[in-house]
């Protein structure tokens, strides 16, 4: 599907169902990360999207094209083309930041929001500037050293330590998904819509009138703490923690799906 000149990879399942669930993956991810969950939502139309620079969606050389504003605008056009009316929007990590940005920009276009291990961004200019510098350096590393070197580094960061306890087949699938990425796309995503580049959406939280479900892992103290602070701002929020790390849908797929269905009456 071509949106504003960009070729997007989109997958849809259970198209005969009325309720729609849209899933947005995290950094170095793709639609493949959600495949084990598709069968767990038989009563919903399931829509999977590869975000800019990821998976089979086009990776562009123009870094400005990766901005969060452009990504959100693309998603809005994409949802309209698919005929989605107020879907439930689910986002993990980077996809969660994107989902929240979409919800704040088009609050009347979704019915509910599910954020897995996600943040509204950094508040101060100093924090944003420091993070932009870090993301820029990481982007340079990806381009200079290549995808294999970067993935070797990325899978060792503390945020993913709990994934070392996963079955070998699951670890292999996660690694293959990361290795399949285009270095240019990952670098562009970091610089264009990384945590340092995106606007802060903390002030938007109190304006969200629809239910917001926050999912975090008990072993992911950073994002559990962020979720607890977000709860103080949300009018209709709920925070659920699982015995997992950062990627709940990978580490605890059955529990992840069950909580979403239970909390959202799907």
Give the model's pLDDT for residue 124.
Answer: 85
Domain that holds residue 210: 2-264
CATH of the domain at 246: 3.40.50.1820
pLDDT at res. 168: 94
Q: What are phi and psi of 10, to 5 degrees?
A: -130, 140
- For residue 13, give the nearest of 39, 33, 36, 32 by alpha carbon: 39
* 135 and 194 Cβ atoms separated by less than 8 Å: yes
Residue-level pLDDT at 187: 95
> Would you state the pLDDT for residue 136?
92
Mean pLDDT of each 10-residue bin along the chain, 266 residues long: 95 95 98 97 97 96 93 98 96 98 97 97 90 93 94 93 93 96 96 91 96 97 97 96 96 96 84
User: Rounded to the nearest 10 degrees, how much is the dihedral formed by the CA atoms of 5, 11, 13, 15?
Assistant: 10
> Residue 121 has what pLDDT?
93
Q: What is the pLDDT of residue 266?
A: 77
Rounded to whole angstroms, the Cα distance separating 177 from 129 reads 30
Contact 202, 121 (CB under 8 A): yes
Output the six-digit token pair for 7.
């070729």
Total count of domains within the chain: 1
């Amino acid at each position: 599907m071509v949106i504003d000149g960009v070729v997007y990879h989109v997958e849809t399942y259970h198209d005969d169902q009325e309720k729609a669930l849209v899933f947005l993956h995290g950094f170095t991810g793709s639609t493949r990360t959600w495949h084990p969950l598709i069968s767990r939502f038989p009563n919903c139309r399931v829509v999977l999207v590869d975000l800019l620079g990821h998976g089979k969606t086009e990776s562009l050389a123009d870094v400005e094209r990766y901005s969060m504003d452009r990504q959100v605008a693309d998603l809005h056009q994409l949802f309209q083309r698919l005929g989605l009316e107020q879907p439930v929007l689910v986002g993990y990590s980077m996809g969660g930041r994107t989902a929240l940005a979409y919800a704040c920009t088009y609050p009347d276009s979704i019915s509910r929001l599910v954020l897995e291990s996600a943040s509204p961004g950094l508040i101060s200019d100093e924090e944003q500037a420091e993070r932009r510098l870090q993301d820029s350096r990481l982007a340079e590393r990806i381009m200079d050293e290549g995808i294999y070197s970067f993935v070797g580094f990325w899978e060792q960061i503390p945020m993913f330590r709990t994934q070392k306890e996963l079955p070998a087949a699951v670890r292999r699938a996660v690694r293959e998904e990361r290795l399949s990425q285009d270095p240019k796309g990952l670098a562009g995503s970091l610089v264009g819509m990384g945590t340092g580049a995106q606007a802060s959406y903390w002030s938007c939280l109190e304006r969200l009138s629809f239910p917001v479900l926050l999912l975090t892992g008990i072993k992911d103290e950073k994002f559990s703490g962020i979720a607890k602070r977000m709860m103080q701002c949300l009018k209709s929020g709920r925070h659920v923690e699982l015995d997992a790390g950062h990627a709940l849908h990978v580490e605890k797929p059955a529990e992840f799906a069950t909580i979403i269905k239970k909390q959202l009456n799907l």
